[in-house]
Structure 1
Amino acid sequence: MPLTNNTIRNARPRAKDWKLADEKGLYLLITPKGSKLWRLKFRHHGVERKLSFGAWPDITLKRARDLRDEARTAVSEGRDPARERKVAKREARHEASQTFAAIADELIEKDRKEGRAAVTIKKKEWLLGKLTAAFGNAPIAEITSPEVFAALDRIQKTGLRETTKRLRSVAGQVFNYAIATGRATNNPTLALQRALLAPDVTHMPAIIDIDDLRILLRKMDACTGYPSTLAALRITPHLFQRPGEIRKMKWADLDLDRARWSPPIADMKKRRPHDVPLSRQALAIIRDMQQHRNGPYVFPAFHSETKPISENTVNGALRRLGYAGKQSAHGFRSTASSLLNESGKWNPDAIERAMSRQVGGTTAAIYNRTAYWDERVEMMQWWSDWLDELKTGGT
């Protein structure tokens, strides 16, 4: 007797699987957990086969019968609907792996395996999330430059030009990865380099006037506050490294006897080895923090000695000194670079290496990792001595 909706609805689970038959090989399999699953039994070239249609009530009785009739038509034409279903699923999985979103996920996983910093990966995931919302499910080989432009244009119209620039860059990485792995032949972001609005250039505020710098250094020495904040504030002009690298300085990365700081590559913005010579003044600030040592970081956070000070700690201290918009922690890099070059005493390449910037092309950089070390040691001490002399009234 053919099934009815009432019969299906009233069917109850038993200790084992049991069946409710419909017609022409269609039946409902009822499991002990209460699932009601559509199945079709048929023969192909004399061999009994089975086909699944899904679960009731998602697949209604009427829909299950339509699927049964389609399968029986295929059998009458000599085709195997079960095999066709497997092939279709395999093709669907393959197609899903070719989408922009899937390849973006692969690229992120590659970054994790290469040991990229967690904050870098998180930022890339955030950027890619804005793009996958627009065309993430599209096969990557079919995405065109106008599609990418439309997605980026919506963002740049909100005024986020720098974000738009970064989005184009990270999208280009995904397309290049797809090309390298044989799933695309074109990078549509290349055509957009001149089509998007150029970002507004914002320079980090930095003091390069000697008299203004003298006043700032004196105020920094005179201010009071939490030891980590004061130490990080005062050592920043002596080291002129990136603020994010200074705040993460660990005791384990210091060789105080050799006056050398070797940040781990994972903490470096450019992911390149970079040792920093420590002047006597920088060493004194670090050694003074040993009395507060109770964790891995030289400049521990106020609320937790297992974490470093925050990204905004030094900038916050400068704001409290009245230098908001005049000098930033990152700005000390510009201060040092400008005044060291202006002194005429040092090789410009040595200054660039001291800034952890690449000197020459990629190949040259490989052989330049330890170049200018002796000059940099001398330069860092000269710079710290000059800062001290400036504070006391020297020129």
Structure 2
Amino acid sequence: MPLTDTAIRAAKPQSKTVRMFDGEGLYLELAPSGGKWWRLKYRVQGKEKRISLGTYPTIGLKEARQRRDEAKRLLANGIDPSAQRQATKASILSREADSFEAVSREWFDKHVSQLAPSYGKKVRALFEKKVFPVFGGKHIAEVEPADILKAARHVEESGAVETAHRLVQLCGQLLRYGIATGRCKYDITQGLQGALPKVNVRHMATITDRKRIGELLRAIDAYGGFLPVKSALRLAPLLFVRPGELRSAEWSEIDFENAEWRIPAAKMKMKQRHIVPLARQSLAILNELSLYTGHGRFLFPSMRTDTKPIALESLLVALRAMGFGKEEIVPHGFRSMASILLNELGYNRDWIERQLAHGERNHVRAAYNHAEFLPERHRMMQEWADFLDGLRSTISLPAKRG
């Protein structure tokens, strides 16, 4: 006799599992704990099988019968409902595993983690806040240019045009990873060129007027503030490394015998080891500084603790105290200063670029280029230090060509 809702509600748990049959293989299984499960019994190639159709009362009698009828239709077409369900579940799991977000997180773990921690954190945050909410759930092969453009436009509308371009570039890198791992076939970002406004390139404030550079160098020499800050500023124009690399310099990285500062790959923006030749002037500053901070880890320890380096802001504050405004010079500007003037002086561009530690696209070559042009760079760095001495004394030296 077919079941009724009244009979199901009135059914009480027994000491053993009880089956209440409705017909055509559908029955309700009542457990001693009180739980009620819909089951369907059927045969495939003479073998008896069972599948669950849900729990009561979430699935009522009417819906349970509908699910039974759907399963019967599959059987009539030679399809095993259980096998169909497993295939559907596998498809869903595969789809989730190959969603844009899932592949992105896999890519983060394999590639973004190799970048500087601060940059890697920014990449993750950009995707989590601006990309995943828009199309992260889509299968990576089904993402369309319009999806990426929509996410990029949201960023652009906030005024961050450069970040919008970076978002498109990063999506392109992710899609190329998807191609390499067989999850998609095309880098659809190629069709987005020109879709976003051009970025207005902002150059770091720097000084290129030679007379004014001389005034800056003399001001640094006369600075009466914290010695590690003064020493860092004295070395900044001589070494022209990135401010973050300068402030975190450690005594263990300084090779006095070979007159080199060997910066580990982990500290570099492009994660490649870098060698900075040290001119006589740089060594003199370091020898003087070692009497003050040489017992500790960092060349430029914080005023509060020698277990941390000085803050970048301390260099900026010192420059302002000397009368040099933010529109004139920033700590990063010493790199631009050296790049512009060394090129003007006629030095080999490859030497300059290698000394600036600009990114190498060829990763195999990049693994070995830390020592590239090293003898030439030693000479260039010494001549650059001599040139700065000339500016400090208001004497312009002749150009030194490579």
Give me the TM-score of the superposition, normalised by structure 2: 0.82
Whole-Å separation in 2 of the counterparts to 1:280 and 1:37: 86
RMSD: 3.5
**Corresponding residue for residue 399 of structure 2:** none
**Corresponding residue for residue 137 of structure 1:** 137
**Corresponding residue for residue 38 of structure 1:** 37
The Cα of 1:59 is off from its aligned counterpart by 5.2
Secondary structure at the counterpart of residue 189 of structure 1: helix
The Cα of 1:284 is off from its aligned counterpart by 3.5
Give me the TM-score of the superposition, normalised by structure 1: 0.83
- Which segments of 5 or more consecutive residues in structure 1 lack a partner in the other structure? none
Whole-Å separation in 1 of the counterparts to 2:11 and 2:305: 61
**Corresponding residue for residue 25 of structure 1:** 27
- Which segments of 5 or more consecutive residues in structure 2 lack a partner in the other structure? 397-402
1:246-395 correspondence runs (5 A): 246-287=246-287, 288-289=289-290, 291-292=292-293, 296-322=297-323, 323-344=325-346, 346-357=347-358, 369-395=370-396
The Cα of 1:337 is off from its aligned counterpart by 1.8
Q: Does the CA contact (< 8 Å) of 2:272 and 2:366 recur in 1?
A: no
Q: Does the CA contact (< 8 Å) of 1:28 and 1:38 recur in 2?
A: yes
Letter in 2 for 1:335: M
| Distance change >3 Å, CA 88–CA 382, structure 1 → 2 | same
Secondary structure at the counterpart of residue 182 of structure 2: coil
Whole-Å separation in 2 of the counterparts to 1:309 and 1:26: 72
| Distance change >3 Å, CA 228–CA 5, structure 1 → 2 | farther
The Cα of 1:6 is off from its aligned counterpart by 11
Between 1:313-322 and 1:95-104, the stretch displaced more is 313-322
The Cα of 1:48 is off from its aligned counterpart by 4.6
Letter in 2 for 1:120: Y
Between 1:58-67 and 1:169-178, the stretch displaced more is 58-67
Whole-Å separation in 1 of the counterparts to 2:330 and 2:366: 29
Q: Does the CA contact (< 8 Å) of 1:353 and 1:359 recur in 2?
A: no
Between 1:162-171 and 1:219-228, the stretch displaced more is 219-228
| Distance change >3 Å, CA 6–CA 253, structure 1 → 2 | farther
The Cα of 1:134 is off from its aligned counterpart by 1.0
> How many residues end up aligned between the 2 structures?
387
The Cα of 1:49 is off from its aligned counterpart by 3.6
1:25-72 residue CA offsets vs partner (Å, 9 max, x unmatched): 3225576xx9x5735252434545443455667656765564455445
Q: Does the CA contact (< 8 Å) of 1:5 and 1:61 recur in 2?
A: no
**Corresponding residue for residue 209 of structure 1:** 209
The Cα of 1:355 is off from its aligned counterpart by 1.4
1:309-337 residue CA offsets vs partner (Å, 9 max, x unmatched): 34444233323433212101111011112
The Cα of 1:185 is off from its aligned counterpart by 1.8
> Identity of counterpart residues, as a percentage?
35
Whole-Å separation in 1 of the counterparts to 2:219 and 2:11: 83
Whole-Å separation in 1 of the counterparts to 2:110 and 2:125: 16
The Cα of 1:212 is off from its aligned counterpart by 1.1
Whole-Å separation in 2 of the counterparts to 1:298 and 1:127: 34
Letter in 1 for 2:168: R
